[in-house]
Amino acid sequence: MFGTLASPCGPGNAKGNTGQGVTNTSIRIGYGDDRGFVGSPGLDEEMGEAVTAMIKWCNSQGGIDGRKIVGDDLDAAVTNVTTVMQTACKQDFMLVGEGFALDEAAEATRQGCNLVATPGYTVGPDVANAPEVYDALPNPVDYLPASIFYEGTKFFPQQVKAYDFLHTTLTSATEVGYTKAQPAATAAGWNKLNCGVTINYNGEPNYTPFAQKYKNCGVQVIYNNLPASPQLFGMMTAINQVGLHPIWLSSADDYSAEMAQWNTAGLANNMYVQTSFVPLEEANIDPAVQKYESLVTADGGKVSLLGEQATSAFLLWATEAKACGSDLTRQCMVNHLSQVHTWTGGGLHAPSNPGSNLPATCGMLLKLTGTTWTQFYPKTPGQFDCSSQYLFKEPASAWGTTLNAQRLATKFTSKNVILPKS
């Protein structure tokens, strides 16, 4: 078992060289992260570590229907994503549990070789709604899991009337999220300021002028999707030094050990993070989180929410690969993945809908106090705050791409695209 999910791994009699990366005895998959990025060394490395551990766990049981998994751990280092995608196109059956900040830059390459994927996360609009992509925790351009905005209004009704984003120069990553966030925030009653703050994604020699802009602007809430990094730490330090103490409402990327370890001075004690996952701190009440932690730490890796995302993606892939048996083709995987409409990764997270590319309608807020993350809302550990209102339908102006009637991005689609068949 993996939590509530019966293990998809084990011995079997599947046979056949059914496509690139599949033989009688093995299945070759690509995965990875941006750990080699010089601006933030080790960026998202927990994703690759999670898939590495899951491959070992699965192979120790006999693989998938008897075929052992061979993994290619790819380091995109943010700017090398096209190169690693070209490599995967030449050797791998599928991408599994990967997370690349500039995935949009490699999307033409991926679709060009029909490399089907179950990613750990997506960023670019033409990836988030792409054909041949089935995200365990979908992040489509036309819908947003918006619990944090309504919860922000609930707990900070006055402060959200004066919010702004923390913009960066990596527009293809951070700004995509802000474009989607703004309509949802407005619908929840937030009011956006325009403080004019944009920091260099590779770092600034002095963050004080940017902090002063926020202070002069009167900001009370900063919505942030920049992950825990020297850049974010520098910004938070400068903001405190100029005497500003805003509420930080952040995407799930900031829920990390790095963020907690940095907060020894309490400068991030006003940080609240949105998640659809059971927190790592509650592993004692959730068998799936406990299993994830034990497998990764036993393999020498670090645990994080991003690692959980990659794990859920691996389990989704493995479950449907097992269902395909000897007919393990990309077409079979697309057929099966498109029919998965309720997925929790064995209890790692709230129910999502990979087959329809719809995110969870449940979330929770985590709060950082000192070096400790705790569940802030709902108060009951492991419980999620759920509402149909949290599935926020985005206006077309926020999509950043064109979708067809099937909600698929059309920019890179060719006549050879693999679509579901009954």
What's at 5, amino acid-wise?
L
Q: With contact defined as beta carbons under 8 Å apart, do 48 and 300 qualify?
A: no
Domains of the chain: 26-142+280-337 (3.40.50.2300), 144-278+360-397 (3.40.50.2300)
Q: What is the β-pairing status of strands 221-224 and 247-250?
A: parallel
- The secondary structure of residue 284, as a DSSP letter, is G
- The pLDDT mean for the chain works out to 95
CA 175 from centre of chain: 15
Indicate the Cα dihedral angle 258, 128, 136, 291, nearest 10°: -20
> For 16-45, how does the pLDDT look when each residue is reduced to its tens digit (9 = 90+)?
999 999 999 999 999 999 999 988 899 899
The closest alpha carbon to 225, from 258, 186, 252, belongs to 252
Helix axes 305-324, 287-298, angle to 10 degrees: 100
pTM (2 decimals)? 0.89
* 111 neighbors 330 (Cβ within 8 angstroms): no
What share of the chain has pLDDT > 90, as a percent?
Answer: 91
- Give 284's contacts (C-beta < 8 A, 6+ positions apart): 290
At 113-134, the pLDDT tens digits run 999 999 999 999 999 999 999 9
Contact status, residue 129 vs residue 357, Cβ threshold 8 Å:
yes
Which two structure tokens, joined as six digits, stand for 166?
């923390």
Query: What is the C-alpha separation between 383 and 362, in angstroms, rounded?
Result: 9
**Taking the chain, what is the end-to-end CA distance rounded to the nearest angstrom?**
30
Asked if residue 414 has pLDDT above 70, the reply is yes
Omega of the bond leading into 125 within 30 degrees of 0 (cis): no
CA 312 remoteness from chain centre:
11
**Amino acid (one-letter) located at 78:** V
For 59-91, the pLDDT digits (tens) are 999 999 999 999 999 999 999 999 999 999 999
Confidence of residue 227 (pLDDT cuts 50, 70, 90): confident
pLDDT of residue 174: 73
Rounded-to-integer distance, Cα 111 and Cα 113, Å = 5
φ/ψ of residue 345, rounded to 5: 60, 35
Gap between the Cα atoms of 312 and 280, Å rounded:
14
Distance, CA of 339 to CA of 333 (rounded, Å): 10
Residue with tokens 């997370």: 99
- Can you read off the two tokens belonging to residue 213? 């802009």
